Amino acid sequence: MGDAIRPDWSGRLNRTWQRAAASSLAAGPAAVRAAVVISTPTNLNYLCGFRGSAGLMVLTSGEHYLLIDGRYDFAARSEQDAGRLGPVAIRRVEGRFDQALADLLGELPAGDVAFESEFVTVAVLTKWQAGSPTRTWVPTSELVEDLRVVKDAHELAIIRRACARLADVAKHLREFVAGGLTERQVAGSIDAAILRAGFSATAFPTIVASGPNSAHPHARPSDRKLRDGDLVVLDFGGVLDGYCGDLTRMAAVGQVQANARALVDAVRLAQDAALATVRAGVLASDVDQAARDVLSRHGLGEAFLHATGHGLGLDLHESPRIGRADAVRPIKLEAGTVCTIEPGAYVDGLGGARMEDDVVVTAEGCEVLTDAPRDLLIV
Amino acid sequence: MGDAIRPDWSGRLNRTWQRAAASSLAAGPAAVRAAVVISTPTNLNYLCGFRGSAGLMVLTSGEHYLLIDGRYDFAARSEQDAGRLGPVAIRRVEGRFDQALADLLGELPAGDVAFESEFVTVAVLTKWQAGSPTRTWVPTSELVEDLRVVKDAHELAIIRRACARLADVAKHLREFVAGGLTERQVAGSIDAAILRAGFSATAFPTIVASGPNSAHPHARPSDRKLRDGDLVVLDFGGVLDGYCGDLTRMAAVGQVQANARALVDAVRLAQDAALATVRAGVLASDVDQAARDVLSRHGLGEAFLHATGHGLGLDLHESPRIGRADAVRPIKLEAGTVCTIEPGAYVDGLGGARMEDDVVVTAEGCEVLTDAPRDLLIV
């Protein structure tokens, strides 16, 4: 069982500290890094297993600290005793977090302090600076996120399990989708199935978009009843041990128009092309282009309103983005990266289609983790 | 029906602009405000009804703008035609949001630009500044949130409905809780009931904390089976039309120890005391103190590990915090404010108890919106 293996927290912590110590973005060559403050919740989870809503980590060349308030103190110490929390020194915060951070930084030797510029708000940084006015505060970008792009064995074991369970839910979609039910009712049945499958939560509000609503990639379930001739987009996900799975399948109610059927087929071919392109060393934008080329050949280039996919892990959307070369930074796929492949096409007056699977990138190609039939489900 | 009335978007927009124009936090008396950038998702929803995951509003002395990408463009225009999106000029963003913002600001007359410092990250502000280097960027704090503290008639109608439905779920708890079931199973049944009740989602991962786990305010549902003698904390919420309801009830499996029963009784008395203190004009910290005094008299002062409550609305946790005088800014309750009243006590080795209701503050006191029996549910 994958969960018998503990996450390699020490390795993750050391790599983060090394990366932060090596970076000297704003600081110049003479700068010494005294500490890195980690505040992004999923990064706290990744680095030490802490999953509370309020916490801070302070990494240093010596000890690594976890600052938490009284609500989590006992639980965190128990988790650590049980080996479910990484090698961090726990500090209970009695008052305000910014004061506790200032106190801790006051104990450290001279040097600058790095922080996560994509998570820390202007208001929080202002408080931190006021608490430690003599420190230089150095913004970092994707410091931990870049390390999270390639999943380790522990993560892959969880993600495999999550995707297998999500595929099981997909195999039962026929039980939940039928003409006469509202989108909301169908979404409720899918949500219940996700929770029954052992997920701790849905990964996002389930999308059930029928008929004209299917033409909008981000439609929300409404009280519209599914009716004959509808295309129905079913997009859902679950969180297992903190990791997200994400899957989309298509249904049709009764008889659909030939051009609606052709739309679904084109999207499936686009997904095939993208899946065939995925391989370690390939540019993410090349995978996107493969899907886009197929849809363009079907006259649906303009109808593909979003990117082909996104990285998947502790966050539902994480690096790498599988998008157009002009919209994403150039990034080569690496073995062990997990991402979605989900082209779609949306045509007002006709409807929309999306097909989504989760894959892990390998040296030779990719492995599809959400192994459920992709055929148009006719109900 | 409450939903027949449209939200007063114009009033909300005007109040926000007036408030922003009046503030001159960092700018001095000669400063002119050219624009306010709103990026907090719940504030976008509040100000114009936009509920997508990516959008920006730019308020000016003339037009107010909503910047959205292609995924939301059609949906937003349809919503506006149907009167479900406020009086904003929609701009479709083709590339990056920061570039679109810079382009729009380039069209506006001279003056500084206010932004939401509690939501905008350091990385985002850095990009915005790079795009409009000649503008002065002025941080604001709680600009829209302060307006959201007092709910208007439209909001109260939705919240009343959400709380009534949540109370209905609470009345059925007996069907979901039983010895031998795991915490996860009970949570799954509650989640399904929340969705069946018409909520679009749970407001947070449902808490079912039994036996020793009940002693931790933020325990997550585990595979532990409920057994004789357990106290069980059941804390759950739902989102209806964007607004959150939040409710906690206590169950006991079979016979519980007399001192566990006493713990539950003390928490209920603490909640009574807090509820009796709520009234327009009272300090939020006085409400907290009322609950704390009761628990202290029962020797449970140290066991009350969190605040007495929090504001409730588009966010699950919003202003005002009902906490200790030394931990929260002094704030007087106002008529029309909606908040939770949820004291608790947590004792290792014995268990924990929490009792939570949602109330609307009135001139004379408060009205409890989650009208469900508070008796210890013995299963």
Length of chain B counted residue by residue:
379
Give the residue from A249, A284, A281 showing the smallest Cα distance to A357. Answer: A249
pLDDT in tens, A78-105: 889 888 999 999 999 988 899 999 999 9
> Residues A141-162: pLDDT tens digits?
999 999 999 999 999 999 999 9
CB within 8 Å: A75 and B216: yes
Question: What is the domain partition of chain B in residue ranges?
Answer: 2-147, 153-378
Run of H or E including B107? helix B97-107
- Rounded to whole angstroms, the Cα distance separating A376 from A267 reads 11
Tell me, what's the pLDDT at B27?
Answer: 53
Q: Chain A contacts of B348, Cβ < 8 Å?
A: 74
Closest residue of B to A124, CA-based?
Answer: B118
Phi-psi group of A328: left, alpha or beta (phi > 0 → left; psi -120 to 50 → alpha; rest → beta): beta
List Cβ<8 Å contacts ≥24 apart for B325-328.
B325/B283, B325/B285, B325/B288, B325/B289, B326/A95, B327/A95, B327/A96, B328/B284, B328/B285, B328/B288
R_g of chain A, CA atoms, integer Å: 23
pLDDT in tens, B315-344: 999 999 999 998 777 899 999 999 999 999
Q: How far is B122 from chain A (nearest CA, A)?
A: 5
CA-closest candidate to residue A373, choices A247, A261, A240, A255: A247
Rounded to the nearest 5°, which phi and psi values hold at A311?
-60, 155
Neighbouring C-alpha atoms within 13 Å toward the C-beta of A153? 8
Q: Residues with Cβ < 8 Å from A82, sequence gap 6 or more?
A: none
CA distance A319 to A118: 13
Question: Quick one: pLDDT at residue B24?
Answer: 54
Q: Tell me the C-alpha distance between B316 and B340, whole Å.
A: 10
Give the number of other CB atoms < 10 A from CB of residue B171: 12
Mutation site for A-interface testing, chosen from B122, B194, B218, B222 by largest number of A Cβ within 10 Å = B122
CA distance A373 to chain B (A): 26
Q: Would you place residue A4 in the very low, low, confident or very high pLDDT band (cuts 50, 70, 90)? A: very low
Query: In angstroms, rounded to a whole number, what is the distance separating the alpha carbons of residues B79 and B82?
Result: 5
| Tokens 């994403």 found at | A328
Handedness of CA A209, A215, A219, A224 (dihedral sign): negative
pLDDT tens figures, A211-268? 999 998 888 899 999 999 999 999 999 999 999 999 999 999 999 999 999 999 999 9
Burial B344-360 (b: 16+ CB within 10 A, else e): bbbbeebbbbbbbbbbb
Q: What are phi and psi of B217, to 5 degrees?
A: -55, -30
Pairing type for strands A33-38 and A112-116 reads parallel
Cβ of B218 within 8 Å of Cβ of A52? The answer is yes
pLDDT at A154: 95
- Which residue in B192, B195, B305 is closest to A71 by CB distance? B305
**pLDDT tens profile B207-246:** 999 999 999 888 889 999 999 999 999 999 999 999 999 9
- Cis, peptide link before residue A320, omega less than 30° from 0: yes
φ/ψ of residue B218, rounded to 5: -115, 30
Q: Which residues contact A305 (CB under 8 A, 6 or more apart)?
A: A217, A344, A346, B70, B71
Give the domain A2-147 fold.
Creatine Amidinohydrolase; Chain A, domain 1 (3.40.350)
Nearest-CA distance B40 → chain A (Å) = 12
Q: With beta carbons less than 8 A apart as the criterion, state whether B213 and B224 touch.
A: yes
State yes or no: pLDDT of A302 exceeds 80: yes
Residue B95 binned pLDDT confidence (cut-offs 50, 70, 90): confident
| pLDDT number for residue B3 | 47
Buried b (16+ CB within 10 A) or exposed e, A293-302: ebbeebebee
Global pTM value: 0.86
**Cα dist from B283 to B250, B287, B294, B357, whole Å:** 28, 7, 18, 19
Do residues B41 and B67 lie in contact, with contact meaning Cβ atoms separated by under 8 Å?
no
> DSSP for A251-277?
EE-S---HHHHHHHHHHHHHHHHHHHH
pLDDT of residue B281: 97
SS3 A139: strand
In this prediction, residue B4 has a pLDDT band, given cuts at 50, 70 and 90, of: very low
> What percent of chain B stands above pLDDT 70?
97
Residue A368 identity (one-letter amino acid)? V
Residue A203: count of CB within 10 angstroms of its CB: 23
The structure tokens listed for A291 are 């899907």
Arithmetic mean of pLDDT over chain B:
93
pLDDT, mean of residues B109-122: 95
pLDDT of residue A263: 97
Q: Which residues pair with residue B231 across a beta bridge?
A: B252
Q: Looking at the partner chain, which of A70, A117, A202 has a beta carbon nearest the beta carbon of B122?
A: A117
Contact B191 A195 (CB under 8 A): yes
For residue B57, the surrounding DSSP H or E stretch is: strand B55-59
- On the question of a common fold for A2-147 and A153-378, the answer reads no
Q: Which CATH number fits domain B153-378: 1.10.10.10, 3.30.420.10, 3.90.950.10, 3.90.230.10?
A: 3.90.230.10
The two structure tokens encoding residue A26: 């704003």
Closest by CA to B207, choosing from B364, B371, B342, B360, is B342
Chain B, nearest residue to A97 by Cα? B327
- B141 vs A95, A123, A196: nearest CB: A123
Torsion angle in degrees (nearest 10) through CA of A133, A138, A142, A143: -90
pLDDT in tens, B337-368: 999 999 999 999 999 999 999 999 999 999 99
Closest CA to B53 of A290, A142, A315, A227: A315
Other C-beta atoms closer than 10 Å to the C-beta of A11 total: 11
Which residues on A lie below 8 Å from B196 (Cβ)?
188
Under 8 Å between Cβ of A364 and A337: no
Complex ipTM more than 0.85, yes or no:
no
Q: DSSP secondary structure string, A4-40?
A: GSPP-HHHHHHHHHHHHHH--TTT-TT--EEEEEE--
Of B71, B191, B220, the CB nearest to A217: B71
Name the pLDDT band for B28 (thresholds 50, 70, 90).
Answer: low
Shortest Cα distance, chain A CAs vs residue B364, angstroms: 33
Is there a contact between A342 and A272 (Cβ–Cβ < 8 Å)? no
Query: Is the Cβ pair B191, A188 closer than 8 Å?
Result: no
